[in-house]
Structure 1
Amino acid sequence: MIVVVDGAARGLSERIRNVRAAGDAVLIADPRWSDSQRAGIARRASGTAVPAGTAWATLTSGSSGAARIVLRTAESWEASFDTVADLLDAGPDDILALPSPPAASLTLFSLAHAAAGGPRVRLGVDAAATCLHGTPENLRAVLDRGAPDAMRVALVGGSAVDPALRARAEAAGVRVIAYYGAAELSFVAVDLGDGLRAFPGAELDVRGGEVWVRSAFVASGYLGSDGPLRRAGRWATVGDRAEWDDGRLRLRGRRDGAILSASATVVPEDVEVSLREIPGVRDAVVFGMPRPGVGALVAALVEIDAGAAIDLRAEAGERLAPSHRPRRWFVGEIPRTPSGKPARAEIARQVEDAPWCP
């Protein structure tokens, strides 16, 4: 059965150990959930039978819609523990900071690793932290506050790490290990600074523009619902689009995330990379706004550094083809999922009737 565990930091590791010792699967509750949210998740978790051997249940980020419960065995995470420790060059004496909530799959992974003898973990970031596992936004926030003197390496997933953020971290003495993965697939590819290569223990293939992976890290499936995870024998995909570029994997977003605007197909991630290169832009999310006759307008929500004065249209015009330039601009704070990823579905909902920048 799945046991929903209180995600409050105090005593969390012990609560997890107790559930696992009883042979049950762990699903961490986010303390920020409302009572009704928690009750709904608990009903879903307790009302459906789970496959034998299920050890962990995690929620997808819900960045593009409703979150799903992903089921996985203990072995599916244990198979990558040694590789992660080697990449971090970290052992039981290190302290791994976890800025994202324990309900996030990347945080729960590190909690499971710690229970198996990996680096000790701290929820949040303190001066003793030697390592970090989080999202690009987590890393950016740490650098904004001033990285702890002891911190030497960051394992960063959830979304792409732009070159400026990597350079800023390395200037502060923090080595960046970026990776591409998914709650359903775990680790797929790793970028040590020269592009994405297959994560050790994973085989990659690009079929019909989608990235497929064969590894021991793939989850068992979903609890009582369907999702984007598809299988073909031992290979699996969640529909992320990709291509090979000089031996490196270049991600191009989810197949269902492309924007069809007039006669052009616009990949949001391609535009976002260019917008993040604009001096003073902290982060950017690109999405489509449906419009009759053209399919969708390319739109962007941009977070700008305090005090920065930017002509976004002019800067975009220098970097992007006309078909890829946003036609609607919104400036403000980007809504995020509990793990720190941009909440794309929420962004599209919020801006539909919001004033845009002329």
Structure 2
Amino acid sequence: MLRSVVVDGSPGSVAGLAAALAAALDGTGPAVRPVAVHGPDPGGELPEGAAVVVSTSGSTGEPKHVVLTAAALTASARATEDRLGGPGRWLLALPAEHVAGIQVVVRALLAGAPPQVQDVREGFRPEGFARATERLPHGDRRYTSLVPTQLLRLLDAGGAPLEALRGYAAVLVGGAALDPALRARALDAGVHVVTTYGMSETAGGCVYDGVPLDGVSVTLEDDGRIVLGGPTVAAGYLGDAAATAAAFDGGRFRTGDLGRLDDGRLTVLGRADDVVVTGGEKVAPAAVERVLAAQPGIADACVVGVPDEHWGAVVAAAVVLGPDENLDDLRASLRAAVRTTLGRAAVPRRWLAVDAVPLRGIGKPDRSAVARLLSATSSSKQTPPIR
């Protein structure tokens, strides 16, 4: 049996979800599917021990419905607690229908108390984060989980929101790649940032600051694709045997990401499907984004491939500029930085200044939307091929 629970960002709706999750975890209630709006439940037979079904954001094609067992959720929460240094009180500032939000609730329940909840019905507000933090018991260890956009807004706000953020024993940041400059800024401000990597299929983050949680394995296939294993891996996709067989095998999940291992520490290079093949050479957009975001005058960047009649595809960049910056003035230095670091093939041939990078789901860049914007730019905005 599967029970859908609507969560709208209010403390009341999260309280209802927490009660349903507690019952699902101890086996006294049905499996739970947190959703933002009412809709038909996915078909399919739930496996033994199923506690939660998470519907993925579905950036391309139809969403998948990930089945997480009580054992997987509990293993993830306990391993997180061990890594962070012990139990504590949790603040939920994320949408509770996503796996990161669900896991905040699960961790809090296993630590002995429901999470404190920031009301995000009107969106995330730094002042609301400070007020919600103040409601946490004083003297207890405090934990929260954020996406990079929320971290940035809290740092920019300063004052009470930043003071509240500094009071957490750990601030987990995931859902999207954390820009190294933003991470350094947070650490310099006294924020205890822990970067996380994982997905719905691994019960959320299972690699912290590049190091797998206890019990989690990380291996790479010949092409660099990341494979995650261990007790936090999901049981599969509800009602989709073919997709389950393609991605899951013996407690291991084959991700869609490329990575590099250095002395056991994982660096995520980006999505395998995002790799741009331009003139026969492969370019990882995430690598180009890191270079661009590190340059003076650039606040954010999203890199994609767009079709090109000469090269098959070209690298294209949408950038968010700093105050009073002009893309025409920066383009030459940006090109030089990418060429020096990554080679000529990685230099963007098409550019666009945007107010903000479009996002989807819990804060991931909407690369499809960015590609549409860049495909619509005129040829005059392109850099002539110089290979």
Q: Shorter-chain TM-score: which interval?
A: 0.7 to 0.9
1:122 aligns to what?
117
1:315 aligns to what?
333
Structure 2 residue 217 is the aligned partner of structure 1 residue 203: yes
- Larger Rg computed on CA atoms: 2
Which structure 1 segments of 5+ residues have no match? 31-37
Contact 2:18 2:105 in 1 (8 A): no
1:201 Cα deviation from its structure 2 partner: 1.9
1:165 to 179, 182, 189: 182
Q: Report the secondary structure of 1:102's partner residue.
A: coil
1:288 Cα deviation from its structure 2 partner: 0.7
Counterparts of 2:369 and 2:144, CA distance in 1: 27
Q: What amino acid is aligned across from residue 169 of structure 1 in structure 2?
A: A
1:178 Cα deviation from its structure 2 partner: 0.5
Counterparts of 1:58 and 1:10, CA distance in 2: 20
Cα pair distance change 1:350/1:144, threshold 3 Å: same
1:338 aligns to what?
361
1:112 Cα deviation from its structure 2 partner: 1.7
Contact 1:62 1:343 in 2 (8 A): no
Cα pair distance change 1:127/1:90, threshold 3 Å: farther
1:261 Cα deviation from its structure 2 partner: 0.5
Counterparts of 1:306 and 1:68, CA distance in 2: 40
Counterparts of 1:281 and 1:118, CA distance in 2: 44
Counterparts of 1:197 and 1:17, CA distance in 2: 29
Contact 2:77 2:103 in 1 (8 A): no
2:143 to 126, 131, 150: 131
2:44 aligns to what?
48
Counterparts of 1:138 and 1:65, CA distance in 2: 28
Structure 2 residue 205 is the aligned partner of structure 1 residue 187: yes
Counterparts of 1:190 and 1:23, CA distance in 2: 31
2:137 aligns to what?
none
1:156 Cα deviation from its structure 2 partner: 0.8
1:3 aligns to what?
3
1:216 aligns to what?
231
Aligned length: 342
Contact 1:287 1:299 in 2 (8 A): yes
2:14 aligns to what?
13
Q: Report the secondary structure of 1:51's partner residue.
A: coil
Counterparts of 1:233 and 1:338, CA distance in 2: 29
Structure 2 residue 98 is the aligned partner of structure 1 residue 104: yes
1:6 Cα deviation from its structure 2 partner: 1.6
TM-score by length of 2: 0.80
TM-score by length of 1: 0.86
Contact 1:101 1:338 in 2 (8 A): no
Cα pair distance change 1:91/1:244, threshold 3 Å: closer
1:327 aligns to what?
349
Counterparts of 2:71 and 2:238, CA distance in 1: 18
Deviates more, 1:3-12 or 1:165-174: 3-12
1:267 Cα deviation from its structure 2 partner: 0.6
RMSD: 2.5
Q: What amino acid is aligned across from residue 50 of structure 2 in structure 1?
A: T
Identity, in percent, stands at 31
Deviates more, 1:200-209 or 1:269-278: 200-209
Counterparts of 1:91 and 1:244, CA distance in 2: 30
1:26 aligns to what?
32
1:143 aligns to what?
155
Which structure 2 segments of 5+ residues have no match? 121-128, 134-141, 383-387
Contact 1:284 1:301 in 2 (8 A): yes
Higher helix share: 2
1:249 Cα deviation from its structure 2 partner: 1.9
Q: Can you list the C-alpha shifts for 1:51-109, whole angstroms capped at 9, x where unaligned?
A: 232111112233455432211112111112233234444644x34242x3112211111
Contact 1:135 1:157 in 2 (8 A): yes
Describe how 1:258-337 pairs up with structure 2 within 5 A: 258-310=275-327, 311-320=329-338, 321-332=343-354, 333-337=356-360
Q: What amino acid is aligned across from residue 222 of structure 1 in structure 2?
A: Y
1:351 Cα deviation from its structure 2 partner: 3.7
1:75 aligns to what?
71
